[in-house]
Chains A and B, each alone.
Chain A
Amino acid sequence: MKPTSALLAALALLAALPVLAASAPGARAAILDGFAERARAADPGFEGFDGERGRALFEGDWGLGKPDTPSCTTCHGPDPRRAGQTRAGKTIEPLAVSVTPSRFTDPDEVAKWFFRNCRSVLGRECTAQEQGDFMTFATGL
């Protein structure tokens, strides 16, 4: 590669970086918008999401689902900025977006884990309001 083309390639890469960096927050915003839309459809009095309600959901000792997982913290651990551990011994990347920037960027993954884990902890699916609150909590950490 000639020095000029190497320079051009490097410049192209640099130019692409802000786009890459912007894509994760953009994906999160789209997912959160989807929750807001569903929350409004379920309750016309919907007033937005609240990270503190999300924190209460995360920290609550619910014990309404599977006996082994009474709380989100059972597997995620008490501090969302630190890694958790599955019951099979595998590491769970921290929930906090500031530590794991890829969190809440893939709508299929978000839907899958809320579906499974809400049933596991609460014994039911989470509402759009709850999912948006939770996401707001994890994104604001």
Chain B
Amino acid sequence: MRTSPPLLLSWTAALMLLASPAFADGPERVPPLTDPVVRAECGSCHMAFQPGLLPAASWKLVMAQLADHFGEDATLPAEKVAAIEAVLVSQAGRSQKGEPSPRITEQRWWKHEHDARHVKPERWTAPDVLSKVNCVACHPRAERGDYDDD
């Protein structure tokens, strides 16, 4: 049996989707974060990121270095660290090829969606943006896991 070209094409598309994380090409949606402890603890300095934005290996790295959390001290009692990590890991995004990075901004899909073609470089330093982790500055429904807005 010969595989017809259209079928081959759809298989390729399916494989590409499987290989990419939550997003293929264009911002989409991730399940919202509902756990009240994670929302409160992770959401006091920055938006509480949805677990689906990082693979489990990356979340483990984040939770292992809270005393130096990207330059900030985010120390928590051990039992809270364990509870938060359990939620993040159980709802994590698809695992990625290569060394895991604890930074969302280092994920391949993120870099692609925010490269100079998609985001003008001067936007990053605008006073309403301030930081690359300030998702809501440009994605008004980011808190709900909805990044489908450009």
Residue numbers of A with Cβ under 8 A of B are 66, 68, 85-90, 112, 115-117, 119-120
Contact of B45 among A66, A68, A90 (CB under 8 A): A90
A90–B46 contact, CB under 8 A?
yes
Point out the residues of chain A lying under 8 angstroms from B137, CB to CB. 89
Residue-by-residue, is B121-135 near A (CB-CB < 8 Å gives 1, otherwise 0)?
000000001110110
Check A88–B46 contact: CB distance below 8 A.
yes
Contact across chains for B76 and A120 when beta carbons are under 8 A apart: no
Indicate if B72 sits at the interface (CB-CB under 8 A). Answer: yes
Q: Pick the contact of A88: B73, B75, B76, B131 (CB < 8 A).
A: B131
Q: A66-B71, A88-B131 are in contact. List 12 more A-B contacts (CB 8 A).
A: A66-B72, A66-B73, A88-B45, A89-B129, A89-B133, A90-B44, A90-B47, A112-B75, A115-B75, A116-B72, A116-B73, A117-B73
Most buried by B among A68, A87, A117: A87
The residues of B with any CB-CB pair to A shorter than 8 Å are 43-47, 71-76, 129-131, 133-134, 137
Among B46, B74, B137, the one with the most A-chain Cβ atoms within 10 Å of its Cβ is: B46
Question: Which of A66, A68, A89, A119 lies in contact with B130, CB distance below 8 A?
Answer: A89
Is chain B's binding surface mostly helix, strand, loop or mixed? loop
15 contacts between A and B (CB under 8 A): A66-B73, A86-B44, A86-B46, A87-B72, A88-B46, A88-B131, A89-B46, A89-B131, A90-B46, A115-B75, A116-B72, A116-B73, A116-B75, A119-B73, A120-B73
The chain B residue with its CB closest to the CB of A65 is: B73
Contacts of A89 in B (CB 8 A): 46, 129-131, 133-134, 137
Instruction: Please pick, from B45, B76, B129, the residue contacting A86 in the complex, using a CB distance under 8 A.
Output: B45
Contacts of A86 in B (CB 8 A): 44-46
Contacts of A66 in B (CB 8 A): 71-73
Q: With both chains docked as a complex, state the minimum distance between the C-beta of B47 and any C-beta of chain A, in angstroms.
A: 7
Instruction: Give the nearest-CB partner of B67 in chain A.
Output: A119
Give the residues in chain B near A115, CB-CB below 8 Å: 73, 75
Q: What 6 A-B pairs come out closest when comparing CB atoms?
A: A88-B46, A89-B134, A116-B73, A89-B130, A86-B45, A88-B133
